[in-house]
Every structure is written in structure tokens, then in C-alpha cells.
């Protein structure tokens, strides 16, 4: 046998080698193309399939089925890994894995225990995921939820693939919005002590502003009537709101490793440095009292302002400096998670980073489409300033953290997500997340019963006992898990993991329906019990990556 084939992807490589060897014998002069192995949609078509014969029909001037048959005849089926090779349809070659190979793999998975699925493709890679990054002007809304949950889940899956991941929250506590926020708090404070204060134009109207003002009043008394005390209100607002944000995140199972204040970039001179670097490259010029960045050099139809005529930089300048800062911190990969509203601006940042002599390939951007809130059958426009929004906390009060996370993750980031508040509220027991959790709880329940009737502690299971169709299907699903992790980590699309877990849960529920443990003879009961041990581990690990609990009971 020689080489060890201990994962599905290793199996695919093995099949590729076999096919290549066959092709070299059949057509020595042929320039062998990239061979793709895929899992057929229908189980009738085996466990793995290739379309090489179809792609080679033209070059070899032969019909695909005939080519496929010739290749199939040259495949070595004596190795013990493969059980059968067939030609089917227009010229596909289908492979079936041998049962003995499946048992061996299941046995390995069983021995890996809770670490089953952990990979090493990102071993020794320093990765940063920046997400949420909402300025402290108000509570996190449902809109921020998708960002937060996506970022955290991507971080988790990268960790499972072996990466050393840092979660960072970038914020700005110095801009115009923060000033308006402070003025809003001050106005509420003055109103609270009976003064006739004018509320700032475009101010923040949420009740949380009044609460912060009350707190300032309690802690500092009613002496802060002068304009010079604005900084106190600003600080109180920032701290109060940040505490709130952190609590909301914690409730969603999210913990940041670091918070990065935009202001740092001004203090350490990074901003000036960036301007200098871009100026040296001739990419910056002055016009109408403002400083412009020649984005037209990078295919944009307009140039972009970096510093306004007022002397204030636009947000793009610190964004550039921030990304350079990340690369300076030696991350092998810096991932940004942000909404579709940034889609037009990040190319400027990338261009600038590149122009300053940094490797922008290390920056990867995940753009997710916006969440449309639907309430009472109508789209719901949100605005933080008008306090017209649904907070994440309110949502979690209604449906819980697990459902909230699941809801944001079940769709591909690139698709528009419709979030029907009424539906999410009443989803309750019909929610798809329970389907996965129930599978886990059901297994744990069986385990409690099994422990009362059997004692397996002295022997290791003999998986060859498993031959029922439902058992084989479940084993095959389980073995896909490590590759799903790798794939999800590479694509950064957590919904792929959800789709997999759904299939796994379906395979388990089917098994539950068809096969029993209690009352079966000891060898079979043992094998089935440990099959479920592995199933439960995959479910718990998968749910863990999604940041969702795997309950013992439901």
C-alpha cells in the first residue's frame, strides 16, 4: 500500500494519481490536464467521480465513454481503498470506497476524539480578523449583527484550520459624530436639571442618551452647565456605550482580543507618514485647499479627498494608515469584514497600501450584503441617530443567542439577507437550529441509557459490525468533516458548514429511525454507540465553530 490515505482529500489525490498513470499508458504523448475529482450529487453515482474522459474527448478524438472505459480498466482496485470503478452517463468515471477503508477512517476519527476535524493548513499563520468596528454612538443593531457573527465565526473556523487568530475591533472616538453624540447627552443633562436646552441638529434621540445623562447627573451633580464640560459628556457616552456593546457581544459569545483606536494613528505619526509616502510617489496633490489622492491612476473616474479644506482628514486616510499598521504587525493575513456600503471604497485603500510598498495580497476583504429588516410585512428603515432600530439585545431577548447567530450564518455572505422580525420571533420550535441541537441532545440521551445497560470500557469497538445503509451513510458524512473545515476556512463562507451539519443531522436522525442500540448484542451495540460518540463530537465541534451551544438535553 505504501502511502497512508487517511482523509478524503488524500483519497482524491490517490485517485488522481491512478487516473494520471492510466492516461500515461493510454496516450504517452498527451499533455495530462488538471484532473478534478468531485463528490457526485447522487449517491447512485458512487463516492467520487471524475469527468476527465469528457474533457479529453476532443483531443483524443474518441468518444468519452470509450475513453472512460479504457481509463477504468487501468485503475488498480486491488489496493483495498476502492471497491468499484464504473463508467456511467455520458462518460463519467465513478468510484466507490471500500467498506474496510471507511471502517479504518472511522476508527481514526474515534481516536482523535474531540480534536477530530482540527486541521493544519493554516499552521503557524498569524491572522487578524477585524470586525464589528462600530463607533460607540449607540447600541449594536441587527444590522451590526451579521458583521459580528460572520467575523467571529470566520475567526473560529480559521482557528480550527490551525491559524493563530486575533480578533480586533477598530473604532474612532474623535470624529464629528462623537461630538454630536456628546452634545446630545449634554442637552438631555441640561433638560434633566430643568434648563431649556436646545437639542443639537441631527442629534441622537435614543433613550440610552437620556440614561447616560442621568448617570452623569448622579455621579457629577448638576454643576456641568458650561460648554467647557463637553468632554465629560463625551467620555461618559463613550464608556457607557462601549460597556453596552461589549456586553452584547459577550452575550453572543464574542470576545475581542484587542480594540484599536483610530486616534493612535494620529499620535504615532502614521497619518503623516502615509501622506508623505503617497506624495513621494506623486499620487497626492493640492486643489481648492484640500489634499487629493489620485485614485484615477487606479481606474476610478474621480480622485478622492484625503484631507478636507477644513484640515480634517476624511475617514479614508486613517483607513489606509490602519491597514499599513496591520501589515507592520506581521500578520500573514488581515481579514476585513464589512458591509456592501464599503464596496466602492476599499479598492482605494488597497491601491494606497500597494503604492506605499506593502503587500496588499495579505489583505482579504469579506463583503456581506445588507440585512433588510422586515417588520409586520414591511421593510423597516433603520437609523441610529433617529433611534429607529432594532437592537441585537432586543432580538436576543426574543429568540435567544443561538437562533440569532444561526440566522445570520445560514445564508451566503454575498446574498441579501431578509430578516423578518415577526417570523424570527415566532420561529421558536420550528427553527432550523433546533434540528441540529436536537440531534446532539438525542445522542446524549441515548448515551445516558447505554451506560446503564452496557459496559464498554474495557474493549475497543469493532466498526466492521456496521453494515446497515444508514450506518454507512452516517460514516461517510462524518468523514467529510475535516475537509469541510478546510473548505469553509478557505472560502470564508460559514453557511457551507451549516449545510454540512444539516446533512449530518439528517443522516443521524435516519440512523436513529432505522437502527437501535439498546437490546442489540454487545458487539453491535458497542460499534453503534461509538459511531454515535463520533457523531456527537462532530455536531458539538461544528456547533462550537458556529458559536452555538450543543445541549445535553432539550
In the region spanning residues 36 to 65, those forming contacts with RNA, defined by CB under 7 A, are 36, 38-42, 44-46, 49, 51, 54-55, 57-58, 64
Residues 448-467 that bind RNA (CB under 7 A): 449-450
The distance of closest approach from Cβ of residue 476 to RNA in the complex, given in angstroms and rounded to an integer, is 14
Q: Which of 199, 242, 435, 456 touches RNA (CB under 7 A)? A: 435
Residue of 2, 8, 37, 18 whose CA lies nearest to 105: 8
Question: Contact region for RNA (CB under 7 A) — 209-217, 267-275, 415-423, 538-546?
Answer: 415-423
Residues 522-551 that bind RNA (CB under 7 A): none
Q: Residue 164's beta-bridge partner residues? A: 126
Q: Which of 414, 459, 467, 469 touches RNA (CB under 7 A)? A: 414
Q: Which of 175, 200, 400, 544 touches RNA (CB under 7 A)? A: 175
The distance of closest approach from Cβ of residue 176 to RNA in the complex, given in angstroms and rounded to an integer, is 6
Question: What's the CA gap between 417 and 425, in Å, rounded?
Answer: 16
Please name the residues in contact with 468: beta carbons below 8 A apart, sequence gap of 6 or more.
511, 514, 515
Cβ–Cβ under 8 Å, residues 74 and 21: yes
Whole-number Cα distances in Å, 549 to 120, 253, 264, 432, 553: 25, 10, 37, 14, 11
Cβ–Cβ under 8 Å, residues 387 and 205: yes
Q: Residue 258's beta-bridge partner residues? A: 168
196 in contact with RNA (CB under 7 A): no
The distance of closest approach from Cβ of residue 314 to RNA in the complex, given in angstroms and rounded to an integer, is 4
| Number of residues engaging RNA in binding (CB under 7 A) | 86
Residues 241-300 that bind RNA (CB under 7 A): 287-290
Residues 289-328 that bind RNA (CB under 7 A): 289-290, 301-302, 305, 308-310, 312, 314-315
Residues 103-142 that bind RNA (CB under 7 A): 135
Please name the residues in contact with 54: beta carbons below 8 A apart, sequence gap of 6 or more.
64, 90, 91, 92
The distance of closest approach from Cβ of residue 99 to RNA in the complex, given in angstroms and rounded to an integer, is 20
Instruction: Give phi and psi for 224, each to the nearest 5.
Output: -85, 55
Minimum CB distance to RNA smaller for 397 or for 418: 418
| Alpha helices for 410-494 (secondary structure H) | 421-427, 432-453, 469-491
The distance of closest approach from Cβ of residue 191 to RNA in the complex, given in angstroms and rounded to an integer, is 26
Q: Which of 7, 69, 89, 346 touches RNA (CB under 7 A)? A: 89
Residue of 440, 425, 417 whose CA lies nearest to 494: 417
200 in contact with RNA (CB under 7 A): no
Q: Which of 194, 430, 458, 521 touches RNA (CB under 7 A)? A: 430
Residue of 373, 377, 486 whose CA lies nearest to 146: 373
Question: Contact region for RNA (CB under 7 A) — 153-161, 216-224, 250-258, 439-447?
Answer: 439-447
Residue of 311, 292, 287, 310 whose CA lies nearest to 352: 292
Locate 532 and state its grid cell.
Answer: 454515535
502 in contact with RNA (CB under 7 A): yes
Q: Which of 438, 462, 533, 540 touches RNA (CB under 7 A)? A: 438
Q: HSE (CB half, 13 Å, CA atoms) of 83? A: 10
90 in contact with RNA (CB under 7 A): yes
Q: Which of 22, 129, 401, 446 touches RNA (CB under 7 A)? A: 446
Amino acid at each position: 500500500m505504501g502511502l497512508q490515505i487517511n482523509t478524503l482529500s488524500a483519497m482524491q489525490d490517490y485517485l488522481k494519481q491512478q487516473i494520471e498513470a492510466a492516461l500515461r499508458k493510454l496516450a504517452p504523448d498527451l499533455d495530462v490536464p488538471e484532473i478534478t475529482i468531485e463528490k457526485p450529487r447522487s449517491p447512485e453515482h458512487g463516492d467520487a467521480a471524475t469527468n476527465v474522459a469528457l474533457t479529453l474527448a476532443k483531443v483524443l478524438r474518441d468518444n468519452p465513454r470509450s475513453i472512460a472505459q479504457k481509463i477504468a480498466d487501468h485503475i488498480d482496485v486491488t489496493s483495498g481503498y476502492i471497491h468499484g470503478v464504473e463508467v456511467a452517463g455520458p462518460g463519467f468515471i465513478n468510484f466507490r470506497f471500500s467498506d474496510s477503508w471507511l471502517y479504518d477512517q472511522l476508527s481514526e476519527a474515534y481516536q482523535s476524539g474531540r480534536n477530530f476535524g482540527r486541521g493544519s493548513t493554516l499552521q503557524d499563520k498569524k491572522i487578524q480578523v477585524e470586525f464589528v468596528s462600530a463607533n460607540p454612538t449607540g447600541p449594536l443593531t441587527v444590522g451590526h449583527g451579521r458583521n459580528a457573527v460572520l467575523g467571529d465565526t470566520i475567526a473560529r473556523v480559521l482557528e480550527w484550520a490551525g491559524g493563530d487568530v486575533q480578533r480586533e475591533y477598530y473604532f474612532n472616538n474623535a470624529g464629528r459624530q462623537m461630538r454630536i453624540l456628546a452634545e446630545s447627552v449634554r442637552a438631555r443633562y441640561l433638560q434633566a436639571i430643568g434648563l431649556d436646552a436646545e437639542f443639537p441638529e441631527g442629534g441622537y434621540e435614543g433613550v440610552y442618551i437620556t440614561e447616560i445623562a442621568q448617570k452623569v447627573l448622579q455621579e457629577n451633580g448638576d454643576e456641568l452647565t458650561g460648554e467647557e464640560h463637553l468632554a465629560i459628556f463625551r467620555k461618559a457616552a463613550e464608556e457607557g456605550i462601549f460597556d453596552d456593546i461589549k456586553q452584547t457581544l459577550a452575550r453572543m459569545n464574542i470576545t475581542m482580543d484587542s480594540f484599536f483606536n483610530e486616534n493612535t494613528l494620529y499620535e504615532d505619526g502614521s497619518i503623516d507618514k502615509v501622506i508623505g509616502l503617497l506624495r513621494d510617489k506623486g499620487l497626492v496633490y493640492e486643489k481648492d485647499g484640500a489634499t487629493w489622492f489620485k485614485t484615477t491612476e487606479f481606474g476610478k473616474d474621480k480622485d478622492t479627498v484625503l484631507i478636507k479644506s477644513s484640515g480634517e482628514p476624511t475617514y479614508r486616510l486613517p483607513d489606509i494608515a490602519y491597514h499599513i499598521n496591520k501589515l507592520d504587525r506581521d500578520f500573514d493575513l488581515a481579514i476585513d469584514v464589512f458591509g456592501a456600503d464599503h464596496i466602492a471604497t476599499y479598492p482605494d485603500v488597497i491601491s494606497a497600501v500597494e503604492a506605499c510598498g506593502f503587500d496588499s495580497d495579505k489583505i482579504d476583504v469579506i463583503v456581506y450584503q445588507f440585512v433588510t429588516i422586515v417588520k409586520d410585512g414591511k421593510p423597516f428603515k433603520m437609523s441610529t441617530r433617529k433611534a429607529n432600530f432594532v437592537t441585537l439585545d432586543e432580538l436576543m431577548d426574543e429568540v435567544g443567542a443561538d437562533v440569532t447567530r444561526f440566522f445570520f450564518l445560514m445564508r451566503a455572505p454575498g446574498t441579501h439577507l431578509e430578516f423578518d422580525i415577526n417570523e424570527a420571533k415566532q420561529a421558536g420550535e420550528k427553527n432550523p437550529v433546533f434540528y441540529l441541537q436536537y440531534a446532539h441532545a438525542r445522542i446524549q440521551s441515548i448515551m445516558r441509557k447505554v451506560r446503564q445497560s452496557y459496559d464498554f470500557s474495557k474493549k475497543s469497538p469493532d466498526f466492521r459490525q456496521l453494515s446497515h445503509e444508514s450506518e454507512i451513510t452516517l460514516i461517510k458524512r462524518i468523514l467529510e468533516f475535516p475537509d469541510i473545515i478546510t473548505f469553509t476556512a478557505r472560502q470564508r463562507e460559514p453557511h457551507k458548514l451549516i449545510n454540512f451539519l444539516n446533512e449530518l443531522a439528517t443522516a443521524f436522525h435516519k440512523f436513529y429511525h432505522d437502527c437501535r442500540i439498546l437490546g442489540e448484542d454487545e458487539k453491535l451495540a458497542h460499534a453503534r454507540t461509538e459511531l454515535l460518540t463520533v457523531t456527537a463530537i462532530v455536531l458539538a465541534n461544528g456547533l462550537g465553530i458556529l458559536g452555538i451551544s450543543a445541549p445535553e438535553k432539550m
